[in-house]
Structure formats: structure tokens, C-alpha cells
Amino acid sequence: MATDDRKFESIPLVSAVIPTLNRPVLVLNAVKSALRQTHANMEVIVVVDGPDYETRAALARIEDNRLKVVALDESVGGAEARNCGIRAASGKWIALLDDDDEWTDDKIRLQVLKGEGSANPYHMVFTRMTARFENDDHLWPRRLPNLGEPMSEYLFTRKGLTFGDGFLQTSSFFASRQLFLEIPFRKGQKRFQDTDWLLRANAHPRASFEVLPDPLVVYYMDGENTVSRKPDWEYLYQWARSNRELFTDRAYSFFLATQCVPRAAQQKERFSVFVKLLRESIVDGAATFISFAICCNLWFVPANLRRDLREARANWTKRIGRARSFLALPVA
């Protein structure tokens, strides 16, 4: 492992950690958004996860002594790359950023205010985000957590059939280095690295969390097809079963409905797989009418039809919004 030899004028309060590999253009945008933060007392650690001369050369052209590059001789995967960055960090607080996302300029300042204002070193501060699609932006998560709401229920339970009620993406993570060291990312975790960490961190007896109402992360949804987006229902099913104690009964039912069922449908599994997942959501969980409806919707309704219906609903909502704005105009 090689680390550059740049010096810092003082010990930073916040360390941004960005793992990357073979995406020099994307990671430069992420790094620049971190260096533009209005909270300047921070360092930006980029972990190059394996041999990647092009990315290292691109980062070397950035003239800012807050940038620190950790270049790994061999790839260790995204989870362990984040751990490497966290171990190399100097800040009291760790803020994670994926190499294909960006931060708004005020993100870290607002998270520092909340973090420093809490007496609990295990308090986590997340933010909403702008989920950027090719033709539209969405505000995620649509709702903020209720007081005392379990993390698993916030992440997975829904009040309707659409996605985005509770969603915390890695680029919004902000927590103490102490917490990240006590509960590191699981090395070798192929999928759901962020969710796995969230549930285990929230199981800490002193853990607490909040979500800031402003969208302070730009989460690009039309990038490369990453491993985490590939369908593999069995992997997620086995992961959830082995971590069953981290879910409430209701959250477990919704996890099977929202994560396993659509992936099984995408993989064109037999109907018996649907029956198995539905049965387990009832027997080992606490299925509700909505979770049952989601199961049926995601299994029986084709993905392209669901997409068309979502787009039609979004367009109708926009038209209603424009009509209301027009009717609210003052009469000349």
C-alpha cells in the first residue's frame, strides 16, 4: 500500500472517504465536490482499490493539500476499501462518498452542526438526496424517520407501492470515526454493503440517527451497471436470514417483498420461489396488506409496465402542480 506524502496544516475535523477503481472522470467530480465544501477543516481520502495508473495520475493533478491518496497494491473490494480509508483518516468524523456521486457545497457544514451538537459519539447524521435520472430528479427519501423508529423499519417498510419512503444512500453517511472503527464494513460483502453496515451500527446500544431534510447529495441513477444493481435474490435472501435479528418482523416481510421478490422475478424464477418468499414473509415476519400487494405487484406486473405507470403518475402530478400554481396567480 502506498500513500502520498502531503502535509496538513492542522488535524482535520472531518475525513471524507472515497473508494474508487478505473473511473478517473467520475471520481474527479466527486473529489471536487468534497473540496468545495463550505466547511474547510477536512481532508479528502481517495482509496484507489488496486492498480489504476490513470486514476492516480488524474488525482495527482489536483493541487490541494487536503487531498490524500491511498493506493492499494491489490483490489480488496468496496467494503474493505472504505475500511482502509477510515483507518487512514485523521478526522473525528467520517463522511462517505461514492465515486459516482457528488455533494452540495453545504453538506458537511450542516452535518457537523448536528454531529457536534450531540453528546452521543454514536449519533449518525444522514441527509436526503436528489436521485438524478436521465429525464427527471426525485427527492429521496420521501419521508423523514419517526422518533424512535427502528432502522430496519425506516429502510424497508412502505406506505404504498412506490419506492423511496425510507432510503439512506452511502454518500450521505456521516458518523464518528470511533463508530466506524468499532463496526467496520464487512470485508467481502458483495451486495448491500451500506445496508448491512446501517443495521449493524444501529444495533449498537448507544446508536441514534437522524436525517436532515435538505437534499445534500446528488445520487446519479443512470451510471454504470454496478454489482449491487445486478439481480441476485438468493444472495440477499441468505444475507437477510443470517442477519434476521437485525430486522423487526414487519421490516423482514417488507425486505422479502421489496428486495427479493423483484429480483427473483427479474431472474425469471419459477412460481414456487414467489410462494416460498411470500410464505416466509407471513410465517417468519409480520406481513401486511401493503407488503402482500407489493409482492404481487412486483411479481405479476411486468417491469416495463410498472415503469410506464410511474412515469404517467409523475407527469400527472407535475400537471396538477402546474395547474395549482396557475390558479394561485394573483389577478391583474
The 10s digit of each residue's pLDDT in 122-160 is 999 999 999 998 888 989 999 999 999 999 999 999 988
Q: How confident is the model at residue 228 (pLDDT cuts 50, 70, 90)?
A: low
Residue carrying the nine cell digits 482535520: 12
- In 105-231, at which residue ranges do the beta strands (DSSP E only) sit? 123-132, 137-140, 174-176, 208-220
Homologous superfamily of domain range 2-227? Spore Coat Polysaccharide Biosynthesis Protein SpsA; Chain A (3.90.550.10)
CB of 170 closer than 8 Å to CB of 194: yes
pTM higher than the cut 0.85: yes
* SS3 assignment, position 20: strand
Stretch 212-238: mean pLDDT: 81
pLDDT exceeds cutoff 50 at 316: yes
pLDDT band at 5 (very low <50, low <70, confident <90, very high): very low
Backbone angles phi, psi at 93, to 5 degrees: -115, 145
Q: Where are the domains of the chain?
A: 2-227, 231-301
3-state SS assignment for residue 299? helix
What region, left, alpha or beta, does residue 176 occupy, with left being phi > 0 and alpha being psi -120 to 50 degrees?
A: beta
What is the pLDDT at residue 107? 98
pLDDT tens digits, residue range 161-198?
777 688 999 999 999 999 999 999 999 898 899 999 99
Which grid cell sits at 274?
414467489
Taking the C-alpha atoms of residue 228 and residue 192, their distance in angstroms, rounded to an integer, is: 7
Give residue 291's Cα distance to chain centre: 22
Give the other-Cβ count within 10 Å of 304's Cβ: 8
Work out the number of other CB atoms within 10 angstroms of the CB of residue 53.
Answer: 10
pLDDT tens, 7-38?
A: 445 799 999 999 999 999 999 999 999 999 99
Task: Give the residue-averaged pLDDT of 279-299.
Answer: 94
Which pLDDT score, from 0 to 100, does residue 7 have?
45
In the predicted model, what is the mean pLDDT of the chain? 90
Grid coordinates belonging to 85 = 480509508
Amino acid at 149: E
Give one word for 141, left, alpha or beta, with left for phi > 0 and alpha for psi -120 to 50. Answer: beta
User: Measured between alpha carbons, how far is residue 250 from residues 129, 161, 244, 289 in Å?
Assistant: 26, 16, 12, 11
Q: Is 60 exceeded by the pLDDT of residue 281?
A: yes
Residue 190 has a pLDDT of 86
What single letter denotes the amino acid at residue 284?
D
Average pLDDT estimate for 216-230: 71
d(CA 78, CA 96): 12
Segment holding 3, helix H or strand E? strand 2-3
Q: Quick one: what percent of the chain has pLDDT higher than 90?
A: 78
pLDDT of amino acid 10: 78
Over residues 87-91, the mean pLDDT reads: 98
